[in-house]
Chain A
Amino acid sequence: MQVPAPFEYERATSVDQAIGLLDRLGDTARLIAGGHSLLPMMKLRLANFEYLIDINDLAGELGHITVEPGQIRIGALTRHRELLESAVLAETFPIFADAERVIADPVVRNRGTIGGSLCQADPSEDLSAVCTTLGASCVIQGAGGRRVVTMEEFHRGPYETAVGDAEMLIEVRFPVRPYGSSAYEKVERRAGDWAVVSAGAAVWLADSASTDTDTDTGAAGGAGAIGGARPVIAGARVGLAAVGPNTTGLPEISRALRGLPPSEELYERAGTIAAASCEPVTDRRGSADYKRHLAKELTVRALRRSVARAQQARTNGGTHSSTGNGAGHRTGHGNGHPQGD
């Protein structure tokens, strides 16, 4: 029988109180949210704590998806299922629904949280790759106040984050830019498994002043060629999971794509950079060579789909990536299911 070693259970009543407890108990205590990473590790004695502080009652403070001008803020206690079902994320960052559909299984997604996923810092974890791809920043709160760190600063290595013993991750912030979209591609051995390799892409386009009449070779069939002008990539980010010590962002790809019109050749070039930049190891999930192949191919597919989506959204004339529909829009546990935690 696998059970965690004995510990004292405390239930947090507010973020401040939880931080107070962490401050007092030091590294003998750990926060527990969904528990679907921590409890298995404690059962296996890979982690042992004298105190667990249950933060599931803090959904009022930490369970939210908030749209503001220029950014979306997601509370650390927002659950996978809420991310999957969020209409505003589906519109602004479709990468979330792509990834959430293949993270664990629906029952686990009812419990697991974005904060827990990031704090677990597993190099194969998909939501971390999503946050890396989108250039997210993490808000960490401690007794002395709040600080904001980038994803690169947040993940210090496998299972290691910038969150101190007396601190907690309270929010993840995502910058929103116009005329953009995103996508996620994952290869897994079976439903709900960790990735063999995953790749996320986010692109932001801009209308080019060029009157170049070449046919757009992008996968969207030229949907973005409005008024004869070919769009160019104003910005692009690619993030990979399961091919290195952390979910990795690849700035070299961002540099290679910037300012150029999207094309299959460009995606190929980005894929080649991805394959060359990652550090996969041979394990039960596949050989290093196979994973490099996947890193390239999935990068190509994710970029292709991101560009197609951005152009499609523009063609549809939707409010894609617009945050002008009012600050403070909240979707908490808004799916009609009572969830008192």
Chain B
Amino acid sequence: MQVTMTVNGDEVTREIEGHLLLVHFLRDHLALTGTHWGCDTSNCGTCVVWMDGEPVKSCTVLAAMAGGHDIRTVEGLEREGRLDPVQQGFMECHGLQCGFCTPGMMMTARALLDRNKEPSEQEIREALSGQICRCTGYTTIVRSIQWAAAEEAGTRTARGAESFGHRQIRRGGLDRAEADDRGEGPELSRRHICLPARP
């Protein structure tokens, strides 16, 4: 059968079998491998994409069911070469370790912030309650989303991540920029990693 849907703003049409799942359609037919395929049982949430603006678990939606609908994947978060604040927050606050859960976490987080500009930590945790981080890095995931919320609010109130008590990491007594200048740890020094301030 033929299916047509909008994926990240582009209309796509493909010949598929009725039993094809949306997650496999995105990964195998469209080569959009940012959406991960995890537990297959709608428990882990790494496959979360948006369908008409709402997060859904794409391992439990048929590609055929998405026909005529608007799908947005993690690849669609970036706009004109600029990272979404949620993506930036995950970089700033070490929101990922292995990265497997990250696409689903970020799609759910983006949807949450679109509905609720200033979610409490409890609201963030509830929103993510259908998603599993196998590295158990929930604390930094929550912090990343708080960073993104503050970043977005900052455009109005000039409130920054400092209000969440983050501090810049210093490695071997060197500031990141300094380390970068000396050619030490360039990968790590591209971004500042946020850790909670010591009491």
Whether A associates with B in a native complex is: yes
**A residues neighboring B (CB under 8 Å):** 1-9, 11, 32, 35-36, 39-40, 43, 52, 54, 56, 104-108, 110-111, 191-192, 337-341
Distance in Å: Cβ of B197 to nearest Cβ of chain A:
29
**Are A52 and B60 touching (Cβ within 8 A)?**
no
Count of interface residues, chain B, beta-carbon cutoff 8 Å:
35
Complex CA gap A105/B24 in Å reads: 22
Q: Does B150 contact A (CB under 8 A)?
A: no
Identify the stretch in B62-70, B78-86, B178-186 within 8 Å (CB) of chain A at 4 or more residues.
B62-70
Question: Taking CB as reference atom, which chain B residue is nearest A10?
Answer: B18
Which of A3, A36, A54, A107 lies in contact with B48, CB distance below 8 A? A107
Complex CA gap A340/B68 in Å reads: 9
**Are A106 and B18 touching (Cβ within 8 A)?**
no
Identify the stretch in B51-59, B89-97, B163-171 within 8 Å (CB) of chain A at 4 or more residues.
B51-59
Which of B24, B54, B69 lies in contact with A337, CB distance below 8 A? B54
Which of chain B's residues have a CB closer than 8 A to the CB of A40? 41-42, 60
**B residues neighboring A (CB under 8 Å):** 1, 17-21, 24, 40-43, 45, 48, 51-57, 60-62, 64-65, 67-70, 108, 126-127, 129-131
Which of chain A's residues have a CB closer than 8 A to the CB of B129? 105-106, 191-192
Complex CA gap A111/B69 in Å reads: 14
Which of A54, A192, A338, A340 lies in contact with B64, CB distance below 8 A? A54
Given the known A-B contacts A35-B62, A192-B130, A340-B52, are A107 and B18 also in contact in the complex, defined by CB atoms under 8 Å? no
**Are B18 and A337 touching (Cβ within 8 A)?**
no
Q: Give how many A-B residue pairs fall within 8 Å (CB-CB).
A: 96
**Are A4 and B69 touching (Cβ within 8 A)?**
no
Question: Taking CB as reference atom, which chain A residue is nearest B24?
Answer: A3
Which of chain A's residues have a CB closer than 8 A to the CB of B21? 3, 39
**Are A7 and B60 touching (Cβ within 8 A)?**
no
Which of B24, B70, B130 lies in contact with A107, CB distance below 8 A? B130
Which of chain B's residues have a CB closer than 8 A to the CB of A191? 129
Given the known A-B contacts A40-B41, A341-B69, are A110 and B62 also in contact in the complex, defined by CB atoms under 8 Å? no
Which of chain A's residues have a CB closer than 8 A to the CB of B20? 3
Which of chain A's residues have a CB closer than 8 A to the CB of B57? 36, 107-108, 111
**Are A107 and B61 touching (Cβ within 8 A)?**
no
Given the known A-B contacts A3-B24, A192-B129, are A36 and B19 also in contact in the complex, defined by CB atoms under 8 Å? no
Which of B17, B24, B53, B61 lies in contact with A111, CB distance below 8 A? B61
Complex CA gap A267/B61 in Å reads: 44
Given the known A-B contacts A36-B42, A105-B130, are A9 and B52 also in contact in the complex, defined by CB atoms under 8 Å? no
Which of chain A's residues have a CB closer than 8 A to the CB of B40? 1-2, 43
Q: 26 A-B pairs, CB-CB below 8 angstroms?
A: A2-B40, A3-B19, A3-B24, A6-B17, A6-B18, A7-B19, A8-B18, A9-B62, A32-B65, A39-B60, A40-B60, A43-B40, A52-B18, A54-B65, A56-B65, A106-B55, A106-B126, A106-B127, A107-B130, A110-B56, A111-B56, A191-B129, A192-B43, A192-B129, A339-B54, A341-B65
Complex CA gap A43/B24 in Å reads: 14
Complex CA gap A52/B43 in Å reads: 23
**Are A35 and B60 touching (Cβ within 8 A)?**
yes
Q: A108-B42, A192-B130, A338-B52 are in contact. List 8 more A-B contacts (CB 8 A).
A: A2-B41, A9-B18, A104-B130, A105-B45, A107-B55, A111-B57, A192-B43, A341-B52
Complex CA gap A36/B43 in Å reads: 10
**Are B55 and A36 touching (Cβ within 8 A)?**
no
Which of chain A's residues have a CB closer than 8 A to the CB of B18? 6-9, 52
Distance in Å: Cβ of B47 to nearest Cβ of chain A:
10
Complex CA gap A339/B131 in Å reads: 22
**Are A35 and B65 touching (Cβ within 8 A)?**
yes
Distance in Å: Cβ of B31 to nearest Cβ of chain A:
17
Which of chain A's residues have a CB closer than 8 A to the CB of B68? 340
Complex CA gap A191/B19 in Å reads: 30
Which of chain A's residues have a CB closer than 8 A to the CB of B43? 192
